[in-house]
Amino acid sequence: MDFNSAIPRTMAGRVGSQAIAEENRRFMIRVYNWMTAGLGLTGLVAWIVARDPVMMQLIFGNKILLIGLVIAELGLVFWLAARVMQMSVMTAMSVFMGYSALNGFTLSAIFVVYSTATISSAFLVTAGTFATMSFIGYTTKRDLTNLGGFLMMGLVGIIIASLVNFWFQSPMISWLVTYVGLFIFIGLTAYDTQKIKEMNIIGNEGTDEDTKEAIRGALSLYLDFINMFLFILQIMGGNRD
């Protein structure tokens, strides 16, 4: 009797586990879709601005405007990260895409500093590295919490080093920050992917909260991708002739 009744319980457990895994998969697809939309908008805006000499002069020839754009970006990203779950869905979507667009204005400078071939190569390397580390973060059974704490301390360290080097202009510190920063964001990609997967609320699919969670996750991975790309771009070099 006990043996017979154990079979359906086991089967039910397997079905339940499969359903949870499938819902997590669909949630992560939504996260990646939002991240891709943000990256696509950033790239499109950067490319359009870089092709317009008037816009480039307006942005980079006016320090006040450039500083204003940077402050606006920081304000939007901190606001979204801190308040996304208290926003309406439309507000969260608008702030995320607005931040992505603003980022495109400031990142348009890379088309002046680097050749198109170098930018394309750096993007492909970044995409491959990101995909690999995100896959690892999604599939690993190892708890990456401790790794995340270590990486966040490292991130604080390179921010401080960058601020110090603003005054000293040391090439050695600059390259140290670049390589350490790259490895930090490579690790953060795996850590953030695992954290995003675990924050998915099973049974919440299709709700406003689910959409906002996806946007919050997309923001984390978007930042990982952008920072990884910029560090790889610096390492690959290849300034425009």
- Asked if the model's pLDDT at residue 6 lies above 80, the reply is no
Distance from C-alpha of 213 to C-alpha of 105, rounded to nearest angstrom:
26
pLDDT of residue 187: 95
Q: Which segments of 108-170 does DSSP mark as H helices, in order?
A: 110-113, 116-139, 145-168
pLDDT tens digits for range 96-119: 999 999 999 999 999 988 999 999
- Asked if the model's pLDDT at residue 202 lies above 60, the reply is yes
Least confident stretch, 32-46, 159-173, 189-203: 159-173
pLDDT tens digits for range 17-35: 788 888 888 999 999 999 9
Residue type, 125: V
Domain spans, the chain: 2-236
DSSP state of 142: S
DSSP state of 206: T
DSSP for 4-62, please give it. Answer: HHHHHHHHHHHHHHHHHHHHHHHHHHHHHHHHHHHHHHHHHHHHHHHT-HHHHHHHHT-
- Under 8 Å between Cβ of 137 and 194: yes
Query: Chain centroid to CA 110: how far?
Result: 18
- Under 8 Å between Cβ of 196 and 31: yes
DSSP state of 202: T
pLDDT of residue 211: 93
Distance from C-alpha of 207 to C-alpha of 213, rounded to nearest angstrom:
10
- Asked if the model's pLDDT at residue 192 lies above 80, the reply is yes
More confident call, 62 vs 192: 192
Distance from C-alpha of 137 to C-alpha of 134, rounded to nearest angstrom:
5
Distance from C-alpha of 22 to C-alpha of 18, rounded to nearest angstrom:
6
The neighbour count for residue 79, using CB atoms within 10 Å, is: 14
- Asked if the model's pLDDT at residue 159 lies above 90, the reply is no
**Geometric angle at alpha carbon 228, from 227 and 229, rounded to 5°:** 90
More confident call, 2 vs 136: 136
